């Protein structure tokens, strides 16, 4: 069995003080820019009044729902997906603690996808109209918000390039490396973590079949690049995975 001791519990907020504020939140460095003064944090606390718990497989919002809030993921993981005219589902992304959900709706004021919890999760509701007023008055937050939007656009672009140009094994390696980097940025292990999504969901996101994902996982294990037990993953050879993802 893969040792996942370095990976922290995904549910700290469920036992945390429900009255804790943005300024004392352990995700502050992920959500907020450095340099906010107390008065600015107080204004943000006034906006972010509500937290919302979403049970596993629960829906946060649906495609075409009116856009009211952005959602900062405090605990847990989500998937976003769209449904085409034929009723087929296409997963467009996986989101985790410290990331924002709902930015795709800013231009049209309607959500462009469905957001569903992959595990018991918790979000902070951020009313967008109130946030806009705050951003006008706090340039450092406006700059930070623009950076977050730019990062999301870049992620979407990179995902499209991967799906269109990379071989199956490159896509899977890039997917694992992306998770590794995101967990590392959150203070978790970059090499030992648990997949919150199923193999079927990974296959859907990468545009592959379930059988291909199973074959690739077996191949990566055989070459000694990864170890796996159910959803627990250990990335044994990060340099080799990077070379594979880069087509080298």
Q: Round the average pLDDT of the chain to a whole number and report it.
A: 83
* Domain boundaries along the sequence of the chain: 12-162, 167-245
**Quick check: 240 pLDDT over 80?**
yes
Question: Residues 178-197: pLDDT tens digits?
Answer: 999 999 988 899 999 999 99
Neighbouring-strand partners of residue 126 = 70
Rounded Cα–Cα distance for residues 129 and 65 (Å): 16
Please report, rounded to a whole number, the percentage of residues in the chain having pLDDT higher than 90. 53
Q: How wide is the angle at C-alpha 46 spanned by C-alphas 143 and 57, nearest 5°?
A: 85
CA 4 – CA 194 distance, rounded (Å): 8
By percentage, how much of the chain surpasses pLDDT 70? 79
228 and 2 in contact (C-beta within 8 Å)?
yes
Report the alpha-carbon angle 191-196-201, nearest 5: 115
Single pTM value for the model: 0.81
167-245 shares the fold of 12-162 = no
Choice between 154 and 226, residue whose per-residue pLDDT is larger: 226
CATH of the domain spanning 12-162:
2.60.120.10
Q: What is the pLDDT of residue 46?
A: 74
- How many CA atoms does the CB half-sphere of 27 hold within 13 Å? 23
**101 and 95 in contact (C-beta within 8 Å)?**
yes
| Residue among 202, 204, 206 nearest 170 (CA) | 206
Higher model confidence: residue 201 or residue 4? 201
pLDDT in tens, 28-79: 555 655 556 666 667 777 778 788 999 999 999 999 999 999 998 999 999 9
Fold of 167-245: Arc Repressor Mutant, subunit A (1.10.10)
Which of 16-25, 180-189, 198-207 has the least mean pLDDT? 16-25
Token pair in block for residue 14: 């469920």
The answer to whether 105 touches 111, Cβ cutoff 8 Å, is: yes
| Sheet with 232-235: strands ordered across | 192-194, 232-235, 226-229
**Residue 54 parent element (H or E):** strand 50-54
């Amino acid at each position: 069995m893969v040792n996942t001791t370095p990976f922290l519990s995904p549910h700290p907020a469920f036992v945390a003080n429900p009255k804790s504020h943005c300024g004392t939140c352990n995700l502050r460095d992920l959500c907020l820019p450095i340099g906010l003064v107390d008065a600015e944090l107080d204004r943000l606390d006034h906006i972010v009044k509500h937290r919302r718990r979403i049970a596993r497989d629960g829906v946060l919002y649906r495609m075409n729902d009116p856009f009211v809030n952005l959602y900062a993921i405090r605990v847990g993981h989500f998937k976003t997906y769209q449904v085409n005219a034929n009723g087929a589902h296409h997963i467009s992304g996986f989101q985790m603690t410290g990331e924002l959900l709902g930015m795709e709706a800013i231009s049209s004021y309607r959500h462009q996808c469905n957001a569903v919890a992959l595990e018991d999760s918790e979000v902070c509701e951020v009313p967008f109209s109130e946030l806009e007023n705050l951003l006008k008055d706090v340039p450092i937050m406006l700059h930070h918000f623009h950076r977050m939007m730019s990062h999301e656009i870049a992620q979407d672009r990179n995902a499209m390039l991967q799906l269109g140009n990379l071989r199956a094994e490159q896509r899977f390696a890039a997917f694992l490396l992306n998770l590794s980097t995101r967990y590392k940025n959150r203070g978790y292990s970059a090499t030992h973590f648990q997949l919150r999504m199923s193999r079927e969901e990974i296959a859907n996101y990468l545009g592959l079949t379930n059988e291909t994902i199973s074959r690739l996982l077996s191949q990566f294990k055989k070459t000694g690049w990864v170890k796996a037990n159910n959803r627990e993953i250990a990335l044994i050879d990060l340099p080799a995975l990077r070379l594979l993802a880069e087509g080298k």
